[in-house]
Amino acid sequence: MSAFIDIKSLPTEELAAQLKEQGIPAFRAKQIRSWLDRGVTSFDDMGNLPVALREQLKEQYTIPHVAIERKLVSAIDGTVKYLFSLSDGETVESVLMKYHHGWSQCLSTQVGCRMGCTFCATGKGGLVRNMLASEILAQIEAAEQDHGVRVSSIVLMGMGEPLDNYDEVMRFLEMVNEPGGVQIGMRHISLSTCGLVDRIDELRERNWQLTLSVSLHAPNDALRRQLMPIARKWSVDELLASCRRYASHTGRRISFEYAMVAGVTDTDACAKELAQKLKGMLCHVNLIPVNPVDGTPYRRSCGERLEAFVRILERAGIPATVRRTLGADINASCGQLRRKEQQNSK
């Protein structure tokens, strides 16, 4: 699949230039674009193209799209969880959440993930492949069409590590704001990363107004290395230094994700160490009670622990909140539905 070019993500002029090199007139690019904008997913359906040209296109290009494999709707809060299949049969998950300001969608950026965090369902199976920019985008188009809503904000927090699929994710972020696209402004986009320091530095140079979420999950190297292999590559101090550079360059508050694991990351000592490390940074801490995943020993912290942790951070002047649980009845956090489907089909 990777040998094929994602035709939907090519700007029309770029496509015209590629066609011209092969002796195909530039106006064909406009015709193709107009079919793509109408949602056509096969070159055979592009009626005004000669059959020989359609065959030629098929040899070089792919029209990425997603199909709904499964859909679960929460009876508690209306959260929708999709399992989408891609053109090659691989599957990814996406969640649509209703907030008072509109619908927010959590998108996948890779099939699987190679970062191997020990508490994560997606990480268990390793990386299958990167998603193409148009496949990432197609999740929004499919959900909007299926559920009859307009998505007004997105979070790249589904399956995969967005900064490990850097080029396609950057192209996706550009496409979202192109004329005729889904038009979701950067301020309504969050990108979550386990902390690839070199990529955070690269992203900073774009000076985009998106929200960078960093999955920190531990205040020191010893603990972070138990949970996240990436912590062996970059220390907590190196990661936080890149976050400080990011916040001061873009003027945007960093959102730190912190998984509350009973008896592991949720102690008073952890809270104090975290408060000390984050001192003076433009940031916010989002506490996520860990979601128990089959085959992992982790349990979620109780409400009292969450409150005590928030209090310690706030007393040190660091804003902190506990993430609201949505779609509790449909297992809305990502990676778990796909794993279940795979296990069932074995």
Residues forming the active site: 93, 334
**Least distance from ligand SAH to the Cβ atom of residue 165, Å:** 10
> Which of 11/116 has CB closer to ligand SF4?
116
Smallest gap from residue 73 Cβ to ligand SF4 (A): 24
Of the candidates 224, 245, 226, the residue with the CA atom closest to the CA atom of residue 235: 224
Residue of closest CB approach to ligand SF4: 123
In the complex, minimum distance from the CB of residue 156 to ligand SF4, in angstroms, rounded to a whole number: 10
Q: Which does 96 bind (CB under 5 to 8 A by kind): ligand SF4, ligand SAH, none?
A: none
C-beta closer to ligand SAH: residue 49 or 334:
334
**Smaller CB separation from ligand SF4, 62 or 105:** 105
Please name every residue paired with 284 in a beta bridge, in sequence order, or none if there are none: 255
* Sheet with 151-156, side-by-side order of all strands: 66-73, 80-86, 91-99, 102-106, 151-156, 189-193, 211-215, 254-260, 283-289, 320-322
The footprint of ligand SAH (CB under 6 A) covers 119-120, 157, 161, 192-194, 215, 257, 259, 288, 290-291, 293
The DSSP code for 42 is: -
64 or 112: CB nearest ligand SAH: 112
How far, in Å, are 9, 153, 320, 336 from residue 112 at the CA level? 22, 23, 30, 11
* Binding region for ligand SF4 (CB under 6 A): 113, 115-117, 120, 122-123, 160-161, 194
As measured in angstroms, the least distance from the Cβ of 283 to ligand SF4 is: 19
User: Which is nearer to ligand SF4, 116 or 181 (by Cβ)?
Assistant: 116
Q: For the beta carbon of residue 216, count every other beta carbon within 10 angstroms.
A: 27
Complex with ligand SAH: residue 43 or 119, whichever CB lies closer: 119
74 binds, options ligand SAH, ligand SF4, none, Cβ within 5 to 8 A by partner type:
none
**Percent helix, strand and coil across the chain, each rounded to 5?**
40, 20, 35
258-292 residues labelled b (16+ CB within 10 A) or e (exposed):
bbbbeebbbbeebbbbbbebbeebebbbbbbbbbe
Sign of the four-CA dihedral 128, 129, 133, 138: negative
**C-alpha dist (Å) from residue 41 to 63, 133, 294:** 6, 15, 37
For residue 168, the partner it binds in ligand SF4, ligand SAH, none, with Cβ less than 5 to 8 A by kind, is none
Distance in Å from the first CA to the final CA of the chain: 24
Rounded CA-CA distance 212/215 in Å is 10
Token duo for residue 272? 């104090």
Q: Rounded to the nearest whole angstrom, what is the least distance from the CB of residue 266 to ligand SF4 in the complex? A: 18
Closest CB 231 distance from ligand SF4, rounded Å: 11
Contact of residue 259 among ligand SAH, ligand SF4, none (CB under 5-8 Å per partner type): ligand SAH
62 interacts with, out of ligand SAH, ligand SF4, none, CB within 5 to 8 A per kind: none
**Axis-axis angle for helices 166-176, 133-147 (nearest 10):** 50
Give the C-alpha separation, 312 to 20, whole Å: 63
**Binding site partner of 291, from ligand SAH, ligand SF4, none, Cβ cut-off 5-8 A by kind:** ligand SAH
| Number of helices and strands in the chain (H, E) | 12, 14
